[in-house]
Amino acid sequence: MSTGLITRPEPQRYVDPITGVSVRQVTSGGAIHHHPFFYVPAYDDQMRWLVIVSHRTGLPQIVLEEQCTGNLIQLTDRPDINEWSVHPSHDGQFVYFTAGSTAWRVDTERFSEECLADFGNVPMAPPGMVGDAMGTTTLSHDDRWWALAVRTDAAAQLWVIDTRTGEKNIILERDSIGHPEFHPRDSSLLRYAGPYQERMWMIQRDGSSHRHVYQRDAEAKEWIVHEVWNPLRRELLTVNWPLGMIGVDIDTGDVRRVCSFNAWHAAISRDGRRMVCDTNWPDQGLKIFDPQDGFGNPQSLCESGASNEGVHWRTDHCPYDDGPVRVYAPQHTHPHPNFSPDGKQVVFTSDRTGVAQVYVATLRD
């Protein structure tokens, strides 16, 4: 396969047997396919493209589904893409990604690649399948700033790249930096995940105001994980596994209940009025709930059928408090549901057929 190669539409449709929701299977075949990580947009804002990572070549490549035709267009052909780093620009012009120890963007029309940073001979991310080892990146809502964590031999670094001028700066160095995310309405504000004992941190884009925003209950072995910004205010919404989710105001420290069921990876709609999540131990399918009303009563969307690998999630507390954990949790076996920009669809990944593929569920009015 090569860049620009077009594959005709492959979709298959089925109706979820529990809810009657229509689900479209976007990809097929014997190779792994998945969309970006759960809080990273899978579409550009105008929904011209759905961004997919495909292993059809034997290595991860970036593929676009053109929404007006359903055609699959291969955007890259290289051996070194860090597959969970992929982030589409909001205007649909580029897809950003890291490859080896370099940072790139590829033009969605011309298929031309531009190197924005070369970090030298560094591992970029520590070994593993979770947390900072995934190498996720974040792009500000105006597409001006791209933030990514780089692992050196000595420490983790949080870099911010100006996508217009090419200027790049290290705004933070510490032991662990994972899953950075710009606030969806404030391009000067980021959050990131630190070590499990002190998970949630905020920092300004210039490196100022760096601070820990939530002190977990260590005696109860509270497991704080999978956080996202609330687009309606300066609040982080985070899983307190397996008890539900809480919201933490980053200015006052106020904590509120968001939901009380086993939400696993929960993404929020652009208007902040709904969240969609997968569930695990037990798997109860994909759920939609209101993150603002203080109850978060779940409504079923559809079954994912995913294998949800990761037995360390079968717990009532943080397993890392009990000692080192050997984690086997291939991320393409997790649904990671996320809303489309218009809020009318949910994209998710499932290996329900034996191989991970990308699916889109259409929400009912």
What is the arithmetic mean of pLDDT over 54-60? 96
Q: Give a yes or no: residue 41 inside a domain.
A: yes
- Look at residue 231 and tell me if it is in a domain: yes
Give all strands of the β-sheet with 145-151 in edge-to-edge order.
Answer: 137-139, 145-151, 156-162, 168-174
For 284-305, the pLDDT digits (tens) are: 999 999 999 999 999 999 999 9
> How far is 264 from 28, CA to CA, in rounded Å?
26
C-alpha 281/C-alpha 81 separation (Å) is 32
Instruction: Please tell me the total count of domains within the chain.
Output: 1
- pLDDT digits 0-9 by tens, 192-214: 999 999 999 999 999 999 999 99
CA dist 360 and 312 (Å) reads 28
Q: Are strands 102-107 and 113-118 parallel, antiparallel or unpaired?
A: antiparallel
Q: Which CATH number fits the domain that encloses residue 312?
A: 2.130.10.10
In a domain, 1, yes or no: no
Q: What is the pLDDT of residues 212-269, one digit of tens each?
A: 999 999 999 999 999 999 999 999 999 999 999 999 999 999 999 999 999 999 999 9
Indicate yes or no: pTM above 0.95. Answer: yes
Owning domain of residue 158: 6-362
Domain presence at residue 286: yes
